[in-house]
Amino acid sequence: MELLYNVLVVLHFVGWAIVLGGYLASLRTPGLYRGVFHGAATALVAGVLMVGVAETGDVWAEGEEPSMGKIGVKLAVALVIAVLAFLAKRQGAKRDNGTGPVAPGLKHTIGALTLVNIVVAVFW
């Protein structure tokens, strides 16, 4: 179970790296990379599976379990990011072969919430 958990952790990190990297790479353009949605979905699914595997497989050591409040906050933020990334993907798909302009507020909210999710993961 620990190997599966570690694979899910890697997928979770890679998903958030794609979201943050896609956001940062598109700062100077009006569009947002389509991979941002796929990264958000990967991170979301991997995170949910990580918690499930850890809870059922006793991966977390006694006394080292993370707060379920923290996991709930991260889940809520991740869901919002995934929905916003989906909306941005749909908005950008209307023109320029899927990389059309996206509302700046939408794009920057995705970036800001991604940073919030990372900060919650590290400092909570």
Nearest to 37 by CA among 9, 78, 94: 78
Q: Could you read off the pLDDT of 57-69 as tens digits, one per residue?
A: 878 777 777 789 9
Alpha helices in the chain (DSSP H): 2-25, 35-57, 68-92, 104-123
Quick one: tokens of 98?
A: 């899927």
Q: Classify 112 in phi/psi space as left (phi over 0), alpha (psi -120 to 50) or beta.
A: alpha
Amino acid identity, residue 70?
A: K
State the virtual CA torsion across 80, 84, 87, 91 in degrees, nearest 10: 170
Q: Could you read off the pLDDT of 13-55 as tens digits, one per residue?
A: 999 999 999 999 999 989 898 899 999 999 999 999 999 998 8
pTM over 0.85: yes
